Amino acid sequence: MKKIVNKIVVPISISLILVFTLIIFIVTRYSSSTITNIYNENFEVIVNQLEGSVEILGSKLQSIEDIKYEAAQLKLSSLVDITVSTMENQYNRYRAGLISETEAKNTAIDLIRNYTFDGDGYFWIDDTEYINILLPPNPSVEGTSREGLIDKKGTYIVKEFVKNSIEDGEAYLSYWFPKPGESEPSEKLGYTKIFKPWNWVVGTGFYIDDIATEVQKIQQNDLINFNTLIQSKKIEGGYPLIFDRNNRMISSPNRENFLKNIEILDSITGEDIVKKAFEVKNGLIEYQYRQGDKISRKFAFIRYYEKYDWIILYSMDKALIEEDVKKIQNLVLIVAIGAVLLSIFLLLFVAKLVVKNVESVTNKIYEISEGEGDLTQEIAIQTNDETGLLAKYFNNFTSKLRDIVLSIKQIGEKSGLMGETLASNTDELSATVDEISSTMRSIKDKTERLTNEVNTSNINLDDIKNKIKILKESTTKESAYVSESSAAVEEMVASINAISKISNEKNKAIMDLTQIAQAGEKDMDLTVQSIVTIEESAGSMLNMIKTITDVSDRINLLAMNAAIEAAHAGEAGKGFAVVADEIRKLAAVTAQSTTDMSNTLTSISNSIVDAANLSSNTGKTIKSITVEVVDVSKSLTEMINSFTEISQGTSQITDSLNRLVHTSMDVSSAAELMDSSTSAIQSSLGSVTQLTSENNNGMSEITNGIQEISISLSDLAQLSTENSENIINLNSIVSKFKT
């Protein structure tokens, strides 16, 4: 016969070993995915907390970039307006007849060639036929056609600028062009404007990377604050990264990587992890990454922000998860083995104790169980051996059992009544506990909502503090800008006063010039009259020369006649012939001289006529100049009055700017007060958060306690019901005994 100890201990021990073996298998199989899910849930909680901050940062970075590009466009148009103003000034000088058009163009080119800004900024000019007029970095291009100039993206730069400027008067264009001293093209934002009188298109531009550098400088503080918030949300063993679709890093533990294009490649496959993350968008990816000489297996938890096209990665070493899995597996194994051994030991101890008592009463229970339950009968004692002792003991047992059964009957009746009362009280107490449990759950829910609201308020206060800081910095900058503006206005007032003074002096000079011009007009009238008199004298002299010419012709004729007569006279007339020949020669010389004098006087007469006409025109010009000088004098007088009014207006502007400086200082002081107030509020909210957390923990403990009470009450009610049933059964059984 098998012992009862073996029957109890062996099956239960085998069952325990099988159960704990199954538990170890399940833990080993599912612990890795469970821990991964735990990390993923932590990641989801942190990312949800950061969603509001990401929204604020993305909106702020976008607005900064938009404002910077708008400012760049405004600066470009202002710079080009300066060059157009220079052209207009030179064109007006040409129109006034002060210089020729060629001189006006050359002067404008020379002036604009020397215009620079931001160190290496310059201006270029092309005409509407695409011929380059000015290109300071490369003067060899000047005078050649740039119609075919095309960048690496296929944009015809000059053609686009000229076409749009002709159509709209101005043009903005993004294109690629080398920086001064470089051969590789860089992206550039250009602006041009047409000067229609000369059909010139003048322009300038900024390089996009220069604008981007300024934008990055402005965005740096926002990124530092955001990065501090991000890095405070680390999962143990992991760190967060944020990228845009161009691999530009928005957040990183290393600040040097801000807004730089960073590639994370799988060290085995060479796959771009960021691009893979954008393909997955939300979920989990695995990759391998080389750190020094070691290649580590990595997990990356991914969340996609569609609005800004960003991806956030929480990257962590897979070995950390495997280490946690091994720790859990080892702990479960140790606990399982210890639990099995302890269970077997306790089973042996309890089994032996029970079996010993069972063996001591087995025979007695057998004797009673085989009878009819008549406790009034006794076994006769016939011997003094063990059998007699057994009978004696049985008789004593039955006697005591009879007394017990009588007592049990009485107690059973009382227990029945108590069981009914206990059941009623248990039902009432259970209902009360349910109400308390419901109330505690409601309080706990409200406490959790309070905690969430406090956390939200704390985040909002962080944002408010950042905005107050930005406001304070802005008011400080504004105060500096206003101070600079005030100084500039004061300098402008001084310049206007100086210009007004110079204008007064010039006005006096113009008045003197008016008097001189009027005197010159009178002198020119006298000159014209003198020239007319000279012209008349020249005419008289021409008449006199004609008379001399006629006399000379007659003398020549007489000399020829005398020579003929001398020839007729022969020897007697030779002397007379010589004299006649000399007279004829003298007449010829006289005729030639008078002819020359006539030509000279005719030329002089023509020059005098021209001089008379020129003097008449000069007189008219002097009269016109006199009128213009008077008009200029009037204009200067009006300009002096305008400068006086401007000086008074700029004085009022200076006063307003000074008041604005004081106002900015007041705003800055108010921002400091607001900053300290928000810090105090945050401190209070921190205390509230701690209190609500403690309260929440207390509510949890109370709720758990109430649940345990409820379970105990349920057990008590069940026990009460079972007790009532047992009492009934006991009374039924006891009633079978004869007492």
CATH number for the domain formed by residue range(s) 71-216: 3.30.450.20
- 3-class secondary structure for 628-662? HHHHHHHHHHHHHHHHHHHHHHHHHHHHHHHHHHH
Predicted local distance difference test score (pLDDT) of residue 331: 74
Tell me the average pLDDT across 276-297. Answer: 80
- 3-class secondary structure for 392-437? HHHHHHHHHHHHHHHHHHHHHHHHHHHHHHHHHHHHHHHHHHHHHH
Q: Which segments of the chain belong to CATH 1.10.287.950?
A: 486-670
Tell me the average pLDDT across 215-233. Answer: 61
List the single range of 59-63, 551-555, 604-608 with lowest mean pLDDT. 59-63
> Which of 332-341, 539-548, 631-640, 706-715 reaches the highest mean pLDDT?
332-341
How far is residue 569 CA from its own chain's centroid? 130
Mean pLDDT, all residues of the chain = 71
Q: How confident is the model at residue 302 (pLDDT cuts 50, 70, 90)?
A: confident
Cβ pair 207, 76 in contact under 8 A: no
pTM over 0.85? The answer is no
Cβ pair 310, 242 in contact under 8 A: yes
Predicted local distance difference test score (pLDDT) of residue 142: 94
- Collect all residues with Cβ–Cβ distance below 8 Å to 341 and sequence separation of at least 6: none
Predicted local distance difference test score (pLDDT) of residue 361: 45
Tell me the average pLDDT across 195-223. Answer: 76
Q: How confident is the model at residue 136 (pLDDT cuts 50, 70, 90)?
A: very high
Burial letters for 15-51: b for 16+ Cβ neighbours within 10 Å, e otherwise? ebeeebeeebeebeeebbeebbeebbebbeebbeebe
What percent of the chain has a predicted confidence (pLDDT) above 90?
Answer: 14
Reported as a single tens digit per residue, the pLDDT across 104-128 is: 999 999 999 999 988 888 999 999 9
Reported as a single tens digit per residue, the pLDDT across 424-480 is: 666 666 666 576 667 667 666 766 675 676 567 667 657 666 766 765 666 566 566
Backbone angles phi, psi at 429, to 5 degrees: -65, -35
Q: What are 283's strand-pairing partners?
A: 302
Helix (H), strand (E) at residue 1: none
* Local structure of 733: helix, strand or coil: helix
CATH number for the domain formed by residue range(s) 4-59+219-348: 3.30.450.20
Cβ pair 510, 685 in contact under 8 A: no
pLDDT higher than threshold 70 for residue 95: yes
Q: How confident is the model at residue 131 (pLDDT cuts 50, 70, 90)?
A: very high
Q: How confident is the model at residue 102 (pLDDT cuts 50, 70, 90)?
A: very high
**Residue whose entry in the numeric block shows the structure tokens 């051969």:** 183
Predicted local distance difference test score (pLDDT) of residue 101: 94
Cβ pair 240, 227 in contact under 8 A: no
Exposed/middle/buried for 256, CB within 10 Å: 0-12, 13-18, 19+?
A: exposed
List the single range of 385-389, 462-466, 588-592, 709-713 with lowest mean pLDDT. 385-389
Cα 465 from Cα 471, distance rounded (Å):
10
Q: How confident is the model at residue 501 (pLDDT cuts 50, 70, 90)?
A: confident
Choice between 281 and 647, residue whose per-residue pLDDT is larger: 281
Cα 246 from Cα 243, distance rounded (Å):
8
In this structure, the dihedral spanned by the alpha carbons of residues 716, 717, 722 and 723, taken in order and rounded to 10 degrees, is: 70
Cβ pair 270, 280 in contact under 8 A: no
The residue among 142, 117, 146 whose CA lies nearest residue 130 is 146
**Residue whose entry in the numeric block shows the structure tokens 């009470």:** 709
Tell me the average pLDDT across 340-359. Answer: 64
Neighbours of 509 (CB within 10 A): 12
Predicted local distance difference test score (pLDDT) of residue 170: 94
Give the domain 486-670 fold.
Helix Hairpins (1.10.287)
Q: Which segments of the chain belong to CATH 3.30.450.20?
A: 4-59+219-348, 71-216
Predicted local distance difference test score (pLDDT) of residue 181: 77
Cα 659 from Cα 461, distance rounded (Å):
31
Predicted local distance difference test score (pLDDT) of residue 423: 64
Reported as a single tens digit per residue, the pLDDT across 11-58 is: 777 777 777 677 766 666 555 566 566 555 655 656 665 666 666 666
Alpha-carbon distances, residue 226 vs 53, 196, 253 (angstroms): 7, 51, 11
Question: Half-sphere exposure of residue 540, counting CA atoms within 13 Å on the CB side?
Answer: 6
Q: Which tokens in the block code for residue 557? A: 């004729």
Question: Half-sphere exposure of residue 416, counting CA atoms within 13 Å on the CB side?
Answer: 13
Backbone angles phi, psi at 134, to 5 degrees: -150, 130
What percent of the chain has a predicted confidence (pLDDT) above 70?
Answer: 39
Tell me the average pLDDT across 266-290. Answer: 83
pLDDT higher than threshold 80 for residue 355: no
pLDDT higher than threshold 90 for residue 162: yes
Predicted local distance difference test score (pLDDT) of residue 75: 85
How far is residue 291 CA from its own chain's centroid? 32
Alpha-carbon distances, residue 210 vs 179, 245, 608, 621 (angstroms): 11, 22, 71, 57
